[in-house]
Structure 1
Amino acid sequence: MCNHDYLSAWTLTAITCGHPGNPTFGMTQGTQFNLNDAVRFVCNTGYVLQGAVKSTCQANGQWSNALPKCKIVNCTEPGHVENSIRQILPSGPHRYSFQTTVSYRCNPGYYLLGTSSISCQGDGTWDRSLPKCLLVLCDRPSMPPYAQISGDRRTVGSVIRYSCIGQRSIIGNTTRMCQLDGQWSGSPPHCSGDSAGLCGDPGIPVHGIRLGEDFTVGTAVRFNCEPGYMLKGSLERTCLTNGSWIGTQPECHVISCGNPGTPRNAQILIHDGLTFSRSITYTCREGYYSTGMLTRHCTVNGSWTGNMPECSVINCGDPGVPANGVRLGNDFIYNFTVSYQCSPGFTMDADRASTLTCTKDRTWNGTKPHCKAIVCGPPPIIPNGQVVGTDFTWGSSISYSCNQGYQLSLPTVLTCQGNGNWSGEKPQCFPVFCGDPGMPAQGRREDRGFTYLSSVSFSCYPPLILVGSARRYCQYDGTWSGTQPSCIDPTHTTCGDPGIPLFGNQNNSQGYQISSTVFFNCRKGYLLQGSISRTCLPILTWSGFQPECIAHHCSQPEMPAQSDVRAIELPSLGYTLIYTCQPGFYLAGGSEHRTCRSDGSWTGKQPLCAADNRPSGKSPVGTVQEPPSKLPVPGGVFAKNSLWRGSYEYLGKKQPAMLSITAFEPFSNRVNGTLIDHSGVELKLAGTYKKEESQLLLQVHQITGPVDIFVNKFKRDYWALDGHVSYISSSNSVVYQGFVRGKGFGQFGLQRLESLDLSRDNQGYNFASNSSSVAAAILVPFIAMIIAGFALYLYKHRRRPKVPFNSYVGHENTNGRATFENPMYDRNIQPTDIMANETEFTVSTVCTAV
């Protein structure tokens, strides 16, 4: 439970930037104004944004971008209409800005065709095409019978004159003028008759009819017009005694439908007048389509057929977004283009275009593409090996494993690339190398190589006889079969005196016969380091290695007879002893580490080495070992503060390391840890544990170390531990092993130091921590300091215990294996050693690795 007083000491205030304000003639979209919230700015119709489109609230309480401005949209110069006067409203500094209207008025003698005013739209275009001012022309004047006309111009202000042929006289207007409305002034005259009592022929109006052909005094004639024409003048005229007609001579004027105007976003394509039987045809501007008839006809009743057409913007509609892809572009109108990209891991069909354009027929010029998963072909096959992994899609990785008796030339991981090819170097499977098995002193050897299935045979020079295996075979696990032979004098039946450590004693009460054991101890003020006891083996060599007595103020702690001890000075804790049990024994209780206190006493408990009769004990060389259990390993195996010990390969040599888990999130299975290298380098790692696959990829994100030469090797490529977790039921242990991603690195193996209880599959995993656990003496609050101090000490002081073997030595025991000059790289180590077997990975190895 949290302490209220403690919590109240901390005041947590949410970071807020407040409302950023609205741009003038615009608005801000967004309702949250706290840390990392983002808002977008948009302008009103007719305005365009100048500045950032969005802004994010930062940790300092300020918005990431200043408030933008909304600048009014301007249209281009609309142009002048010939024979017109132009007026711009409203007038101001922005001459042709949004909503500005330009009006045109034709000069006298001209008439307007189209819409007299145009407006600037929000997209920066004018809503209509410019009108036209066309010349006013009067119709051809009526020609009375027996008359003639002088003057052929029909423009406004033009005058024509009438005269009669022969002896006839003109009756009526002798002149007529073309007026602004396109009509001739007055009415047509007529010529006098042939004799007294007769009126002259009044004529027939153009596009009209006349009823009556008797022109005598008192008779009447009537007039009418064809459809589409309207009578102007007297409908009926009567012949008077003076030879004139009552009324005015009629004319048939064509009916006018007037100026129909121009639709928005359209222009007049064809027109032949505004009067009866004439027509006008429109066309929409580019990017618009019509709804309605584009051609209208002037009808007999003086109206245009149909309705004014409308021109709407061409919109092809949303073409959609393909699965596993994205669409770039949100404008679906004419001539605009949208493009497509596939999500990582997917590729576009080759027969589909990546861009689509909206066409004038309101359809896209193609169909949206499909994004199909990128799948690499089968990875290359290697002799004596096989591919590990069945997922060949983009981003997935495969590795290789070799058949029994072969090993990879390099820990290659091939990754499926976006181009459908595999990246990475194909490895090879080489026969396992068992190393030089050594040669017994005073002996000889015949060999045919040191690789898998090779054999070597040994013999001794007389009179010495061979003790051990006369022939040894290189086995699949990199070890030699049998036991290392030696050449001994047949007259000898005992081991030689192993010697007495300086400032120490030897208890040889059992003698030096085969199977007898000698014990060592040190004088007061000295601490024993090395093997406490050594046993004479049948091959007349001593087990273990010779101890030393090191001066120290702490008293000698109790030690089990079947143990080896190493010592190290840790700056953070002090003088520390590290125990391992001799072959055939295991740590059954007590402490693996014990540190000298200031009062001379020791931390922890006396270790206990018990005979290893467990079923999980190592199988004899050449026998089949129990495979790891396939039980799923829960994520809780990486609980916080859990420790993993083991090694990794670099340039063919094993390097000891320890992994400390610093954080574990049970819901996301996120793992954070620190890998401590033997050279003092610390690597901060992070990754997500995949429980179903028991797989964990830990990638490095921080590297620290005392010297660049040790740090640099980890900075190459993207260094990571890529491995799987296995539960070995026989030993109730968990191992994390796989390959190191990095140039020059090979396999790695780490074993969890605490036992694991799989009886409950929940977040409360029960980790055993009884006296039989190795971790009982390790899980102390300063374990991270111990490891770090240990590594730092190795680097600074360069101290190391004596290497027990510098080459093959006939009188020393190697448990049936040859020992080499660099004990850090011993190919005789069993495959399970890479899983940090507790009896194989010792601090003595750490010390000799510096």
Structure 2
Amino acid sequence: MLATSPVRYKGILRRLHNKMTSALAFLIICQVAFYTTVSSKRVCGRPPITDGIDASALKRVYEVGEEVTLSCDRGYLPSTATPGRIACTDTGEWTQSNLACSPKTCPISRPLQPLAMGKTEVPFKSVLNYTCDDGYIIQGANEARCLHDGTWSNPPPLCKAVNCPLPKPPTDGRVVHDKPFTGTVSYGQSWTYECNPPKAPTYERGSCMANRSTTEPPVCREVSCPIPAGIPNGFITFAVMRQHGYKEKVKYACNEHYVLEGEAQIQCQNTGNWSAQPVCRAPCTVGIKRGRIFYNAKKLWIEDLKPNRVIHGEPVVFYCLNKAESCGYPVASTCNDGALPIPECFEEPGRLEYNLRHTTLPSEIAMCAASPPATPTNHTE
């Protein structure tokens, strides 16, 4: 057996070491290359979605090239008939989708539209809350939700008036209902309390209230009103000057050419006072010396208005001049209890102009196509 020399043995070890170093370096390079290749491969995260898109089947991570078909969730309508298909690109981003989902709507019934500020429909998932006014009880659900199919979860409820027990009549009196009833009275129903003459109730009206109770009956007592007073420019007709009992009446009238304003008859009330007296409104005088007016369907020179009197509430038309257009235009004024305002635009002509050149007055020339803006009137005292 040949012995290997130390020098040869060292050479073998050196070559073996060099080969092992090269193999190890190659292995390291391969691992680095493999790691770089794997780590540089991109992926896509969960696709970006807008409101209404169904996200129940979407994954968190997708490989390059994977595709996803987007669809609208229940209760939403797609903006396009074609499927919303997107793909994961090698940049780690998704392709664009043209899919948009809009919520379905539920119609609002016409009686509720004023309360909904004029809206005729509301989107999916909207909620309507119903309440009844005081004195009414809700019958049905107090809430309705807009469902995915465009219908409401509950129909509108009904509001039924609460019932009250029958009112008790006053002692020495009775109850007179405004309208027929059966067994009970409903919220809002009213009645009148009456007493046996000559007595009067301390109050005359009662009703069924929101808390399901009725007005307590009044007390019947004797009432009288003082001798009725006269009114300016008027008189009492066919009345004896004495105290009057409850509900007795007195009638008024006005002097000639005066207009009665208010109720002609007054009545003795349960308080011992008379109801409001009427007023006699005075006639007016047209306060111009020269000019032409339109009154009582006639165009008149002021001197032809005989007598110079306008009844309260009646209009008188004066004629003004539009200097820019050289045309006339009418302005109305109304008699108000003895006062007839003269329009500020009216200019009373001088004596010479009125007598010799009356054809040039605003009332006689061509009328303007349109009247200028209204101006204040001069109020007579």
Q: TM-score, normalised by structure 1?
A: 0.16
The structure with the larger Rg is 1
TM-score of the pair, normalised by structure 2: 0.32
Q: Which has the higher contact order (CA 8 A, sep 6+)?
A: 2
1 or 2, which has the higher strand percentage?
1
Higher normalized helix content (fraction of residues): 2
